[in-house]
Amino acid sequence: MSDIFREVEEEVRRERFEQLWKQYGDYVIAAVALIIIAIAGYELWQRYELNQREKASETFFAAQQLAETGDFSKATPAFAVLAKDAPNGYAEMARLSQAGALLVAGQRLEAVAIYKSIAADDSGPIGSVALIRAGWVLADNAPRSDVEKLLAPLTDPKSAWRHSANEILAYADFHAGALKKAQAEFQSIADDKDAPETLRRRSAAMADFLKAGTGNFGTVPAPVKPAAPATPPVTAPGAANGAPPQ
């Protein structure tokens, strides 16, 4: 009897499965097909991304070679193309390199504009690096208030970049002739145990230099006038021939 019940139970299961397959079989096939297509598409996309990164790497290296040889007329547009079309990472580095090439070529305003654009798009390390570079550019000729406004996101006490930003502000005061203020700022960085060691040593050297009261920095001394040639002694006529003077 148990065999009969088992056969009946199996028959019932088979009929239920056939009914379910008739109702949902097409959906199952479609779902499996979608999964296969998705996996294949993902693999193709991965290959495409790898190919794009390899091309971007080659183009980036070639642009860097142009910049290193001083051919900025070709390097700058090459970096600009990468910044627009390259995958993330390469595009950001290309923008930084483009700004650096412009800066070396003397196009300071254009370089600062790109640095600011990078910082506006990225709140992470790359954006912070862009702000630091722009700060050093502006510290040479922009008002101290402009430099301070630019570096405001980095001067927060919790910012990891605060020491570098404060060094730029101290340099801006030094460059503007506010020597006592600059000396105090450099000394503050030198005394900060949380600041990087190299930055502390550099700031300590600047603080000591300013503390010495050297206000005449970068002045070329006046040229020394050459001494007038000595007047030769007057020789009596005939003396050159050994004849006694008359």
CATH number assigned to the domain comprising residue 127: 1.25.40
Which DSSP string do the residues of 73-104 spell out, in sequence order?
A: HHHHHHHHHHHHHSPTTHHHHHHHHHHHHHHH
Number of domains in the chain: 1
Q: Residue 61 has which token pair? A: 């290296």
**Residue 124 main-chain phi, psi, to 5 deg:** -95, -155
Contact between 163 and 188 under an 8 Å Cβ cutoff? The reply is: no
Question: Has residue 164 been placed in a domain?
Answer: yes
pLDDT digits 0-9 by tens, 160-169 = 999 999 999 9
Low-confidence ranges of the chain (pLDDT < 70): 1-12, 17, 42-69, 71-72, 75, 82-83, 85-89, 214-246
Provide the domain limits for residue 112. Answer: 108-215
- Output b/e per residue, 113-146; b: 16+ Cβ within 10 A: ebbbebbeeeeeebbbbbbbbbbbbbbeebebee
